[in-house]
Amino acid sequence: MKQSKGKFQSRFLKLVLGCSLLTESVFFTSTVSAQKYEKWVAPAEAIAQKNPLDGNKEVLADAKKLYVSMCAPCHGEKGKGDGPAAAALNPKPADHSSKSVQAETDGSLFYKMTTGRGPMQSFRTKLTDAQRWSLVNYIRTLKK
């Protein structure tokens, strides 16, 4: 009699443990999905904005210098999102050579440099408009 009571208790404990593990995992998955990465989309008027330096190759040498000193620590020298600071960041720095970044309009890339998001700081006051447009031209040269 005593023994079967013991068995029952241990089964009961296993059941409680199982349930709590289950709730915990459900809770864990839901918190993880709540923090899911939200795609960064620029507003329509920013996407439509024209690049005043469109096709200007003369700005590329200066833009490259800016890129290497101010962007490469996170985005990497070739823009692949693999700079020395990238490992510690969440979300990861965008891969500027990727299809998805290259498919964006100049206006969209300019807007994102201007406003920033998360670890990507705003360059509104750190760089002039012309410098940010020149960086858009430079990013175009990083296409795979």
- d(CA 84, CA 108) in angstroms, rounded, equals 26
Residues numbered 30 to 59 that lie near ligand HEC (CB under 6 A) are: 40
x/- letters, 6..35, toward ligand HEC (CB under 6 A): ------------------------------
Using CB under 6 A as the binding rule, whether residue 101 contacts ligand HEC is answered as: yes
Please, which residue, 10 or 128, has the CB nearer to ligand HEC? Answer: 128
Which residues inside 103-142 make contact with ligand HEC, applying CB under 6 A? 104, 109, 112-113, 117-120, 123, 135
Residue 66 near residue 127 (C-beta atoms within 8 A): yes
The closest alpha carbon to 109, from 144, 136, 74, 134, belongs to: 136
Q: Which phi and psi angles does 120 have, rounded to 5°?
A: -80, 110
Residue 116: which residues within 8 A CB-CB, separation 6 or more? 122, 123, 124
Sign, Cα dihedral of 87, 90, 96, 97: positive
Q: How many residues bind ligand HEC (CB under 6 A)?
A: 22
Contacting residue, 53, 59, 94, 142, with ligand HEC by CB under 6 A: 94
Binding positions for ligand HEC, rule: CB under 6 A? 40, 70-71, 73-75, 85, 89, 91, 93-94, 101, 104, 109, 112-113, 117-120, 123, 135
